Structure 1
Amino acid sequence: MPTPVPPSHRGGRSSQVPVEQTTLPRYPAAGRSPAPHLVIAVGAAEPPAPRPGDRLRTIRCGADADELLDAELATMVTGWRILVTGTESDVQQVRSAALARGALDSELELRPTDVDAGPEALRPRTVHCGHCHTRFSATAAIGGAVHCPACGCALVVAHHHSRTHAAFLGSPA
């Protein structure tokens, strides 16, 4: 398999891929709809101030969302929203768990606490190995290289994020 050529070396084109040509997560500006919210604070994330009618719940990490969502979604009625704060990896894991349980994307408001440096900054990410299909955590930038701990394959972290897997695609280099 040929070694991928970084975008900065492809005929003088910019190294930036326009964000609208990617599946990188996009997060709206701060603000909330007037609906009542199930506010989920993940890890050390500081939750927004709860409003009347909101329910505030905390969990250690995004992987702990299954049990919480099973209990909470059963009690929610039309019009409720789910607001999640935490690291990007954690909020994406909660999103994936909520979608798997029937929540709609339009009902979810994600507020990651570690994306101020932009979508391509070096930070902890969940990567899905395109070779062996293992998901793992790595500190990486979009376009950066990582090695899969399961199969040892050298991977390039792609501009593709899967809402289902809550992970960035790691394409074999």
Structure 2
Amino acid sequence: MSSQSVVDRVHVDNLDSEGLARIGLDILAASVGTCFVFVGSEREVYAARSEAIASGAISEEVVVAPIDGEAGSDDAVAWSDGAEPRNLFCAHCHQTFTAVAGVGDAVTCPSCGLSLSVHYNFSRRRAAYLAKYVSKDSLVNRGSRP
């Protein structure tokens, strides 16, 4: 008995609400055992992964391959370079927003106006890094990007 693999490639030009809806429809139409691989920027692949899971895929069926530049850390964990936009989740007003910021950078939440520090904590469900309040006094040695 031979098994035959079928590979369907779907290209989504813009990962806006329409692009995410298209991913959701593809997940709903897929048969059991289908594997989904998302390739793109960190922000895009995790947003696509989040949509796939919300549409019924299970974690084992979803693979993400971010192609952003990565910087290694002392603990052998690789994080995307701060030069790319990423989604941040404000721990205070619970809004998700996009900013060009690396882990440890300071940003201002556009919703509540608080100064936030970007943490290593990443939520795959929200496809966003945690950003928590940091006092302006402790920002002396921190980088900040608009």
- Give the TM-score of the pair, scaled to structure 2: 0.76
Q: Runs of 5+ in structure 1 lacking a partner?
A: 1-33, 37-52
The 1-side partners of 2:4 and 2:133 are apart by 44
The 1-side partners of 2:4 and 2:130 are apart by 34
The 1-side partners of 2:88 and 2:117 are apart by 10
Displacement after TM superposition at 1:121 (Å): 2.9
Local SS of the residue matching 1:142: coil
**Aligned-CA RMSD value:** 2.1
The 1-side partners of 2:46 and 2:52 are apart by 10
Checking the alignment, whether the CA contact within 8 Å between 2:106 and 2:118 is kept in structure 1 is yes
Higher relative contact order (CA 8 A, sep 6+): 1
Alpha-carbon distance change, 107 to 127 in structure 1, aligned in 2, over 3 angstroms: same
Alignment map for 1:135-146 (pairs within 5 Å): 135-146=96-107
> Which of 81, 97, 108 is the matching residue for 1:121?
81
**Is 1:103 matched up with 2:57?**
yes
Displacement after TM superposition at 1:35 (Å): 8.6
Instruction: Tell me the residue number matched to 1:57.
Output: 10
Instruction: Tell me the residue number matched to 2:38.
Output: 84
Checking the alignment, whether the CA contact within 8 Å between 2:86 and 2:100 is kept in structure 1 is yes
Deviates more, 1:73-82 or 1:92-101: 73-82
Q: Runs of 5+ in structure 2 lacking a partner?
A: 72-77, 135-146
Displacement after TM superposition at 1:80 (Å): 1.1
The 2-side partners of 1:35 and 1:87 are apart by 31
* Aligned AA (2:55): R
Displacement after TM superposition at 1:87 (Å): 0.6
